[in-house]
Structure 1
Amino acid sequence: QLDCTAAVLIIASALCVGDPRERPAEARATADLSHQRFRDERSDFVSYLNIWGQYRYQSRQRDRKALREWCRKRFLSHARLEEWREVHLQLSMMLRDLGAEGRPAAAASRRHAATQRKDAAGSRSERRDDDAGGRDTRTDEQEHAPSMASGVAYDYARVHRALLAGLLRQIGHRTTEKSYTGLRDVLFQLSRGSGQYHRLPKWVVAAEFVETERRYAHCVGAVRTKWIERAAHGLIRRTYFDAHWDQRRAEAMVFEQSALYGLVLNPRRRVRYAPIDRAGAREVMIRAGLMEGGLHSPAPFLEHNRELVRSLREMEARMRRPELLRDDQALYDFYDARIPDNVVDGKSFEGWWRRLGPAAVQGLRLRDTDLLLAAAPVFSESSFPEALQLADALLPLRYRFRPGAEDDGVTVSVPVEGLGQLDERQLQWHVPGMRQEKVLALLRALPKSIRRRLGPAPDAAAEFLERHMPDSDDGELAPAGSPSLVQALSTWLAHRFDVHLPDDLWTDEHLARILPEHLRVRIVVLGENGEQLTASRDLAALRERFDVRGDARGRDAAAKDAPGQPADEHRHWAFGELPRSERVARGDAEIWLYPTLLDTGHGVRRIDVDSAASAQRIAQAGLLRLFLLGARLNLDKLARRLPQALELFWLENLIEPHPLWSPDAEADPSLAVDALWLAARRAFGPDLERIRDEAAFAAALERGLQRFDTEVERAVTSVLEIGRRFKALKTALQADELPPAYRENVEDMREQLAWLVFRGFVRSLSEAELLALPRYLEAMQRRLDKLLQGGARDGEKLKSVRPLWERYLSRARAHRAQGREDAALNHYRWMMEEYRVSVFAQEQGTATRVSRQRLDRLWASIAA
């Protein structure tokens, strides 16, 4: 059958007479060296062919005496070689009588070329698990190519397949470094005389086993498992496991394990499932192909069904109601009842549905009632929005109902550049559809003594949300500037039940302990290519990790650390038009960044920030730097030439850093330079917001230069007035003769003064705030004068002011630590200054109407 009779006949006759190679004890090493010429790198059986070919050739070239000498020098037994030849002759005659005389190997190769190429193509995938020698890289074509063993033609693969038919019980698989396992768990090793002893093929067939203290295999050849499987076809036991869907092939596949008498030949071969189990393959197609989307098909009903299932599961996840949908078995039963038994893969599926009529195709479309356990609930898209709409971002929301899982609940995806745009106040309100549950959880976490005063918690939660549900647009969790959920709830409890909760009751740490994970929005931070960098439910921790600060000064400071190269620095307008905003997409998330010009001290650099307000603040300094460079104005030199330079120098030495934040490390501490900077801001400032290109910049530069000298005089006068008032107050408040009884009053005034005039105040404060400073300092002087004249009511007034200021300090420190920017809180801070004027210097008058009630209402709008 394999057309290798000639070669196998030589090997079989050799096995009958025994090994002709001799290894005398006194010359064993020399004999082994001589026998190396006959060895084959893969098989000891081929060594017999090598010996046979050499001996036959020499017997034709030499006389009997010379032939014996040739055998002696090569440590071959002439007697056994002759016996071998005699046995071979007898076997050949027997085969001739039976009509089974072998053809030459080369002819056999041509006869079976087509068959072998087919076998090779069908089994290349098996080579990875089936390497006969562990290092043999021959292809199947090379295995079947005719070879010559000292003149004897043979086909290695066919010869060893033929040998396997008779030596099947003597196969083995290498399981340890030198040990082999055979059929029925028989253990053996290769004999030292074998040519494969050092090579240790992965699979071998042996001519015989010899047992001493161990079992040794003699005369072995490397084989492949597919040859063994063909030889033992009827004896192979096959088991199947891990049926799965192959999306590329559009059919079910399964892993096959083949074993022969307990010896595993192939532990994991991937084969088609349908020929083995059509019903099982059909089930895999329905579940993995149709239900899970693994089968790509243009069938219209299939796309409709998948979209319906997706929308219903999305509704189930958003509403967190697992009782809405039937389990997957209902969907399987739907397809199982309609798809014929002979449809088992993508090809048969396409052929089946395309032959159906319109009515039959329509019957394959799912309806809500096929999957819902009860009537569909009222589902509002606005209660569970698909995206979070911010002023400068549109961020996708993903819903998962996986209690205990890391991504359970609502997840918002945000690019790292837009992390500063997220507002903890909005996130705390959560999506509208989950607010009732969240408020209920907050109320139930209150002390029992408080809960008793509220009545039934569900009723209290419903009443609160009815009165305080934020009036937000689609996609907004709460309008910008809204108080946080816990602040609104605390205020409502105080008004409705006269329950006053401590400001520090609902800290972020406390909320993390009392609220289930799904009631806190999960934040996924996206990288430059839309990949997930990290995820957390703690916004403050994420901001700290990525060095993102949400307050104004923090954003400006972060901008100064933005990446860039010295080559990016410009000393004149050479960067084209400066757009107001740019859209950036990361996956499904969209944010708007704001290009601006960053002052580097020696020039400007174009950067992108996540806030229009920050962009405007940063651009103000950047544009002023360009103006100064364009006008060739050196503020340091000009400051030294000011007539008031010395007085400004002494004043700046009295000014201390801000109590809450420090000025930028690169900020110039010179009060004279700051005064000139103020002059430049006033001279060029009116046009800053309109400057977006080089032409507008050049026109503004020309107009600003005309105003600069006038503004210098005005700015120096303003700064000197503030500095002189500050010096007078600071000196008076540090005087030793101040009565000890007024210590608390004096400390309050010292603190107020430090918040009004601090290092860098000229550049940090807005124009309106700077213009108001002299009024506030004058009011402080009036208060101090009254105090020194024995103003007994100052302490009483302080008691009414101090709580309002303390709550600001507490909130300001918290916002600073969390990186928040809150315009309402800043407005409250300056309204407090007006309130101090009305309380301590009423005769001076205020710039706007202010009262305790107005401050309380303003405070209610500020986020916790």
Structure 2
Amino acid sequence: IDPPDHRNIRDGVQLLQELGAIDPAEKDVRKRLTQTGRKLAQLPVDPRLARMVLEADKNGCVREVMVIAAALSIQDPRERPADKQAQADQQHARFKDETSDFLAYLNLWRYVREQQRERGSSSFRRMCKQEYLNFLRIREWQDIYTQLRTVAKQMGIHLNEDDAPADHIHVSLLAGLLSHIGMKDVKESKDSGPGARKEGGRNEYLGARNAKFAIFPGSALFKKPPRFVMSAELVETSRLWARVNAKIEPEWVEPLAEHLLKRTYSEPHWEKDQAAVMAYEKVTLYGVPIVAQRKVNYGRVDPETSRELFIRNALVEGDWRTHHKFFADNRKLLSEVEELEHRARRRDIVVDDETLFDFYDEKVPEHVVSGAHFDSWWKHKRHEEPEFLDFEREMLVRESAAAVTKADYPDSWRQGQLKFRVTYQFEPGADADGVTVHIPLQVLNQVTDEGFDWQIPGLREELVTELIRSLPKPIRRHYVPAPNFATRFLDTAVPLQEPLTVTMARELKRMVGVPFTADDFDWSRVPDHLRVSFRIVDERRRRLAEDKDLEALKLKLKPKARQALSQAAAATASRQGGESLERKGLTDWTIGSLTRVFETRRAGQPVKAYPALVDDGDTVSVRLFDTEAEQQQAMWKGTRRLILRNIPVNPAKFASEKLTNAQKLALSANPHGSVQALFDDCAMAAADKLIGDFGGPVWDEESYRKLYDKVRAEIVDTTVRAVGQVQQVLAAWQAAERRLKGVRSPVLLANLTDVRKQLDALVRPGFVTEAGLRRQPDLMRYLIAVDRRLQQMPTNVQRDTTRMEKVHEMQDEYAWLLEQMPQGRPVPQQVLDVRWMLEELRVSYFAHALGTAFPISDKRIVKTIDALAP
């Protein structure tokens, strides 16, 4: 007799090991057979099938699994003749289960048993033949099942009476098919870029030991292949096919294959929330990934590495939530000495992390690998030596720290009566790198840019040096080396008296004689850390916003700043037992005298705001504003609303009644949408004129009553005159509109668009109040000038275009000026008046014969803009 092939012996041993029948670690061969192995030997089927039955006993599905195991022991009882494949498939389709070919055996078994009970022997044979079932194989199937059941009872295996869940059945089957699992193959996609993934093939699976197989076309899973599958049989023909398959969940595998799994770990890292070192575990069975990435506690896997990471991250870097006193004291002391580095922008003052690591490494026991381990150890150690883990300042600081003084690196910044906390951050590239001034929200409205451009003394020389280097090359070459000129400048300059660049331009010119202006310095070339950052904080010092642009912060936080002022006013009134300064729903002046400036103290800082009446539509309110400019604008409108709502006779309605129907019809063509809206606009413009004529607005009740009486006496007549003026303006506007509609030429498209924009800007809803009554004659002249331009435009297009381009150049200059104004603040009236200079310029270009209100030219406009620019 020839001995068996070594490969067969090896395969047999591997199978027994897979099934848990032998223990390869046992050196005594006689003891290698496990309890499971002894039970497998008693069952009269293949060891894989026997293992399924044993597992089924644990899961309460022995009856179903023995049926399937018996079926897998024989040739498939379903026949498929070559000449009648379609008919056979049709008959067998009723037994299919979309997720499992194994369950098809159960369905067939139940059907056969039912037919046997209902039919005689001959009838049952004929039925088998008609439905393409092999009678002899069915008998064999039933015989094997009977044998299994008999042996199982003898072994004490319990047969369940109730139907078992499908998952329990499949888990039991999986116990015998651990090397017959597969995961749908997924590969990197070259077409979709890095990281993109695609299926390696609709039916291609990665199996044990890197085998590649596909689901057999006759399987119920062929059309919808699952992510993970187990197969009763792998048959190689044109390729490796998996026959009799079922969908499985990867989490079923791990408990069954614990003795076969390979575990690898990657990316060990500290996690603050867990107070432990975690890593990602990958679990594979014969190369098939069962768990792709699972986070686990790494302390049980590699205690040495975990201890090192715990010390470095939790103790040295402070990334740990704990209430231990030594930890808080050490972090505080370390923060204090690190602040010296941030101020001086040097990394050679504080000892490095290795020194701190060595300190803890020497003192913390080897078994401490996590926060929980540390807490357990320290609970006893701190009673023996409370200062065992305390830092000493001397061990943290090098000698070079003495050069950092508070004179050069102050803790606070003063601006007038205001005092702000200053902090330092040495982190190149970070937004807050450098000096940060902390500004309480409630005083934000009082803070200006003044002085911050000079920086703190410790960084001033570097700042001046970099500003010199930012000059254009023809100027810069006269100031080399830049550090020397920076030192000379700071020796003589008086800081904070005027903008830094203004002082530098004057003093540097005096040194060399080369003239230039403050605008020649390029702040964009200055390193970010040399520009002060502003951090706005609430009363609890919590960060609200941060930026190097103070005006941008003011605009962004304007609503919150106004709310803070309101809260300060309410708190002050509450302390004094009086009524809050801010009011709503006022219909008359019932507030006594309105203070022009509200002042109090909040969190040690002087708070200042500016109260004013606010037009709320039908009523007025008292509200606090950030600036005097906003106060003046609101107070005017609020006073106007309060006066108009209390005048007995509606001036707009009275003016309307004075007009004929024909006049009303003529006025109906207006940008307001209705005649009444136009009359209301005229009434407000009339009120503005009278309030200005009589010295308004006012700030106390007596002055208000006098102003009210004067306005009431003249408001009706003034409104009627205003309507008359506006009637003429609208007539000129309508004439210009008709003329514009009559000009049709593609060549004039840009010119006509310019006219359209001008008309829309001159006459629009609210134009009467916007321009004021005194400017209505000017409006009419501008509109007549538009009409004349349209008359002349077709006769000399080039001339019109040239003049239009000159106007556009001035408009661009004006747009630039408006951009320089602080956002969120009222634009000064002198700046707004430049708009009317542009209209006069148009008159001088397009209708010179009409004359202008004052001498006008491009140069005059540019000069005015330069004078108004901040």
Smaller-chain TM-score range? 0.5 to 0.7
Distance 2:622 2:328 in 1: 48
**Shift in Å at residue 570 of structure 1?**
6.0
1:35-434 to structure 2, matched below 5 A, reads 35-72=92-129, 74-92=131-149, 100=155, 102-105=157-160, 148=163, 154=164, 156-157=166-167, 159-175=169-185, 176=199, 177-357=202-382, 360-380=385-405, 383-384=408-409, 399-410=424-435, 423-434=448-459
Equivalence map 1:274-673=2 (5 Å): 274-357=299-382, 360-380=385-405, 383-384=408-409, 399-410=424-435, 423-445=448-470, 457-458=482-483, 460-462=485-487, 464-465=489-490, 467-468=492-493, 470=495, 482-494=497-509, 497=511, 499=513, 501-507=515-521, 510-513=522-525, 515-522=526-533, 537=548, 572=588, 594-598=610-614, 604=620, 609-611=625-627, 613-622=628-637, 624-625=639-640, 628-629=643-644, 632=647
**Deviation string for 1:444-463 (max 9, x for gaps)?**
44578977987975455345
Contact 1:243-1:254 at 8 Å conserved across structures:
yes
User: 693, 708, 712: which is aligned to 1:678?
Assistant: 693
1:19 aligns with 2:76: yes
Instruction: Determine the C-alpha separation between the residues in 2 that align with 1:446 and 1:87.
Output: 98
Contact 2:313 2:319 in 1 (8 A): yes
Structure 1 counterpart of 2:507, one-letter code? W
Deviations 1:425-457 (A, max 9, x none): 433222343212101222344578977987975
- In structure 1, stretches of 5+ residues that fail to align are 107-146, 149-153, 471-477, 549-566, 641-665, 692-696, 713-758, 765-809, 828-861
Residue identity in the other structure for 1:621: W
Contact 1:393 1:591 (8 Å CA) reproduced: no
* Equivalent pair of 2:685/2:773 in contact (CA under 8 Å): no
What is the Cα deviation at residue 818 of structure 1?
A: 4.6
Equivalent of residue 704 in structure 2, options 701, 704, 710: 701
Partner secondary structure for residue 489 of structure 1: helix
Q: Is the alpha carbon distance of 1:207 and 1:816 closer, same or farther for their aligned partners in structure 2, counting shifts above 3 Å? A: closer
Deviations 1:787-814 (A, max 9, x none): xxxxxxxxxxxxxxxxxxxxxxx99997
Q: In 2, Cα distance between the equivalents of 1:199 and 1:814? A: 69
Alpha-carbon distance change, 58 to 707 in structure 1, aligned in 2, over 3 angstroms: closer
RMSD between superposed Cα atoms in Å: 5.3
Q: CA deviation at 1:220?
A: 0.9
Which residue matches 1:788?
A: none
Change (3 A) 1:199 1:417: farther
Q: 2:613 is aligned with what amino acid?
A: L
**Structure 1 residues 599-608 or 459-468, which shifts more?**
599-608
User: Residues of 1 paired with 2:204 and 2:387: CA distance?
Assistant: 64
Q: Distance in 1 between matches of 2:552 and 2:367?
A: 57
Secondary structure at 1:361's aligned position in 2? coil
**Shift in CA distance, 711/61, structure 1 to aligned 2, threshold 3 Å:** closer
1:2 aligns with 2:2: no
In terms of mean alpha carbon deviation, does 455-464 or 199-208 score higher? 455-464
TM-score, normalised relative to structure 2: 0.59
CA offsets per residue over residues 8-31 of structure 1, 9 Å max, x none? Answer: 333222112122123445654554
Is contact 2:326–2:389 with CA below 8 Å preserved after alignment?
Answer: yes
Give the secondary structure class of the aligned counterpart of 1:266. strand
Counterpart check, 1:817 vs 2:820? yes
Residue segments in structure 2 that go unaligned for 5+ positions in a row = 1-53, 186-198, 560-582, 656-680, 716-768, 775-812, 831-867
Task: List per-residue Cα deviations over 1:130-167 (Å, max 9, x = no partner).
Answer: xxxxxxxxxxxxxxxxx62xxxxx46455434433432
CA distance in 1 between partners of 2:824 and 2:103 (Å): 85
The letter of the residue matching 1:489 is: M
What is the distance in 1 between the residues matched to 2:645 and 2:352? 72
Per-residue Cα deviation, 1:496-555 (whole angstroms, up to 9, x for no partner): x26454225435xx2212x1222223567999x99999976566788899999xxxxxxx
Whether contact under 8 Å (1:598, 1:622) holds in the other structure is yes
Counterpart-to-counterpart distance in 2, 1:164 and 1:70 = 34
Amino acid at match of 1:624: T
SS in 1 for 2:266: strand
| Aligned counterparts of 1:821 and 1:463: Cα–Cα separation in 2 | 41
Equivalent residue of 2:391, what SS? coil
1:102 is paired with a residue whose SS is coil
Q: Contact 1:171–1:205 (CA<8 Å) still a contact in 2?
A: yes
Structure with higher RCO (Cα < 8 A, 6+ apart) = 1
Distance 1:820 1:268, change over 3 A: closer
- The 8 Å contact of residues 598 and 611 in structure 2, kept in 1 or not, is answered as yes
Seen in structure 2, the aligned counterparts of structure 1 residues 161 and 197 have a Cα distance that, compared at 3 Å, is: same
On the 8 A contact 2:612/2:635 being kept in 1, the answer is: no
Q: What's the offset of the Cα at 1:307?
A: 1.9
Task: Quickly say closer, same or farther: Cα 1:246–1:448, change in 2 above 3 A.
Answer: closer
- Matched letter for residue 304 of structure 1: D
The CA distance in 2 between the partners of 1:711 and 1:90, in whole Å, is 119
> CA offset at residue 486 of structure 1?
0.9
1:425–1:863 CA contact under 8 A, matched in 2: no
Question: Which residue type is aligned with residue 159 of structure 2?
Answer: P
Deviation at 1:265, TM superposition (A): 1.7
CA contact (8 A) 2:446 2:608 kept: no
Q: Is the 8 A contact 1:301 1:364 kept in 2?
A: yes
Determine the C-alpha separation between the residues in 1 that align with 2:127 and 2:685: 108
Of 348-357 and 592-601, deviating more is: 592-601
**Percent of aligned positions that are identical:** 30
Q: Give secondary structure in 2 for the equivalent of 1:17.
A: coil
DSSP 3-state at the match of 1:195: coil
Task: Label 1:29 to 1:593 Cα distance change in 2 as closer, same or farther (>3 A).
Answer: farther
Give matches, 1:657-806, under 5 Å. 674=689, 676-681=691-696, 685=698, 688=699, 697=701, 699-702=702-705
For residues 593 and 107 of structure 2, what CA distance do their matches in structure 1 show? 85
Give 1:299 deviation, angstroms.
0.8
Distance of 2:455 and 2:318 partners within structure 1: 32
Q: Secondary structure at the residue paired with 2:381? A: coil
How far 1:45 sits from its partner (Å)? 1.8
Task: Classify 1:622/1:381 alpha carbon distance in 2 versus 1 (closer, same or farther; 3 Å).
Answer: farther
Deviation at 1:403, TM superposition (A): 2.6
Q: In the aligned structure 2, how far is the partner of 1:394 from the partner of 1:169?
A: 75
**Contact 2:420/2:439, CA 8 A, preserved across alignment:** yes
- Structure-2 change in CA distance of 1:708 and 1:260 (3 Å): closer
| Distance in 1 separating the partners of 2:546 and 2:416 | 23
Cα drift, residue 584 of structure 1: 13
Give the Cα separation in 1 of the matches to 2:243 and 2:419.
76
User: Structure 1 residues 419, 490: CA separation in 2 closer, same or farther (over 3 Å shift)?
Assistant: same
Contact kept? 2:423, 2:437, Cα under 8 Å: yes
Give distance in 2, aligned partners of 1:634 and 1:387. 60
Q: CA 1:518/1:818 → structure 2, altered by over 3 Å: closer, same or farther?
A: farther
Letter in 2 for 1:167: L
Q: Do the aligned partners of residues 278 and 624 (structure 1) sit closer, same or farther apart at CA in structure 2, a change above 3 Å counting?
A: same
Comparing 361-370 with 703-712, greater Cα deviation is found at 703-712
Q: Counterpart amino acid of 2:96?
A: R
Cα distance, 1:620–1:397 mapped onto 2, change above 3 Å: same
Give 3-state SS (helix, strand or coil) of 1:274's partner: helix
State the AA in 2 paired with 1:295.
W
